[in-house]
Amino acid sequence: MNQISSLKSQTVLGILGSGQLARMTALAASELGIITYIYCSESEVSPAEHVASKTFKGKFTDKVEIIKFCEKCDFVTLENEFIDQDILNAIDTKFPNRLFPNSKTFNCIGDKISEKESFKKAGIKVVPFCAIHNIDDVVAFTKTHGYPVVLKSAKGGYDGYGNCTIKNESEIEAGILKLKANDIKRSLLVEAFIPYVAELAIMIARNKNEMVTYPIAHTVQENHICHYVSVPATLPKDNEIEIIENAKKAMIAIDAIGIFAFEFFLTKNGDLYLNESAPRPHNSGHYTIEGTITSQFHNHVRSVLNLPLGKTDLRSPHIMMLNLLGTQNGPAELNNANDFLKIPDGHLHLYGKKLSKVGRKMGHFTLLGKNQKVILTILEKLKSEYSL
């Protein structure tokens, strides 16, 4: 299908979700004169609601209301991958070529088990895994892969939620009970623990005609939550080529349209494992707003509307992003905003969340410069002093 050469006045992009990813996607869309409608389940004003053209309130389990929402839109995309597959199928059946990524793509990666099976089938090395139903399944897995292992919820986990590390057999039962606490029928899997030396991420955008990749980022995690993103990642050329090739292979395997993130583990022996994917803009790509010629949010909008994709070159030799995580439970207030705003070529983004929670993503700060060590020193000082 050829790319569209014009933008219809009053084009409406619908976004299922209303957090910071939807917020930044709506801001990018607005620069092209695109109207954004948000489908939101939050009772209070959400981050995206501050900037969207119109907001519709409803439950993400309500198929009828979601179909009514999609009927009002020219194009529809998603902020997260947690909507039930039958609802996505219904959208595609009712409105063909309106939802991107579409239901067929989500059927390949809608949960961590199908995701890993899809990529493994495509010839991509993934972290060894196995779907489990009971303690014996985990024990059997450890006979081959040893301890520790990682238990995960097949669907719904993020930022450290929905997984736990198991160090020995005595911890298995408690781990399963923890992950099934709110849903006894929840599917689980177990993964081998990969002693990686670096966690790497790549953003890739694809429309119906072309595909572009972003520079590979090094993400620094603490307690399963990303704290820093550094670009470009320092790694051997062979590994860089392998990551790019595998990301492209993954996009083609699931016929993906939109912006996707792929996270890889790099071991000290130089082995690469695809850990997981995200069918949407991703935290590891926030640096692209100021750090690349075309941000991940702009290219996501372009992909969904099948517009020409923008260049992804870096605007600076080094770029680092600091996630601003909640340090308290209560009203959100960044205590030392001036310290961030005084820094040349530093860019502060707050997501407009009313309440802060410890560890909750409340914003991010991106700093561009010529010296990576100098940038890191500045960010470490900010990280140690701010409260939010």
**pLDDT digits over 256-273, tens only?**
999 999 999 999 999 999
What are the angstrom distances between the C-alpha of 263 and each of 216, 243, 305? 10, 9, 25
Q: Beta strand 258-267 with 272-278: parallel, antiparallel or unpaired?
A: antiparallel
CATH 3.30.1490.20 in the chain is located at 128-192
Whole-number Å distance between alpha carbons of 68 and 75: 13
**Residue position matching structure tokens 């489908």:** 39
pLDDT score, position 128: 92
CB atoms within 10 A of CB 108: 21
pLDDT digits (tens, 9 = 90+) for 65-83: 999 999 999 999 999 888 9
pLDDT score, position 158: 59
Element at 362 (helix H, strand E):
strand 361-369
Architecture in CATH of 12-99: 3-Layer(aba) Sandwich (3.40)
In CATH, what number does 128-192 get?
A: 3.30.1490.20
Q: What is the edge-to-edge ordering of all strands in the sheet holding 12-16?
A: 54-57, 35-40, 12-16, 75-78
End-to-end CA distance of the chain: 47
Whole-number Å distance between alpha carbons of 32 and 93: 28
- Tokens for 3, please give them: 């790319």
CATH 3.30.470.20 in the chain is located at 196-385
CATH 3.40.50.20 in the chain is located at 12-99
Which phi and psi angles does 127 have, rounded to 5°? -60, 130
pLDDT score, position 3: 57
CB atoms within 10 A of CB 333: 11
pLDDT digits (tens, 9 = 90+) for 146-157: 999 999 888 766
**Residues facing residue 126 across a β-bridge:** 274
Find all residues with CB under 8 Å of 120, minimum gap 6, and list them: 126
pLDDT score, position 178: 87
For the whole model, what pTM was predicted? 0.92
pLDDT score, position 337: 94
Find all residues with CB under 8 Å of 276, minimum gap 6, and list them: 112, 115, 262, 263
Domain at 196-385, CATH class? alpha beta
pLDDT in tens, the chain (388 residues): 455 556 777 899 999 999 999 999 999 999 999 999 999 998 888 999 999 999 999 999 999 999 999 999 999 999 988 899 999 999 999 999 999 999 999 999 988 899 999 999 999 999 999 998 889 999 999 999 999 999 988 876 655 567 889 999 888 888 888 887 766 767 899 999 989 999 999 999 999 999 999 999 999 988 778 899 999 999 999 999 999 999 999 999 999 999 999 999 999 999 999 998 999 999 999 999 999 999 999 999 999 999 999 999 999 999 999 999 999 999 999 999 999 999 999 999 999 999 999 999 999 999 999 999 999 999 999 999 999 9
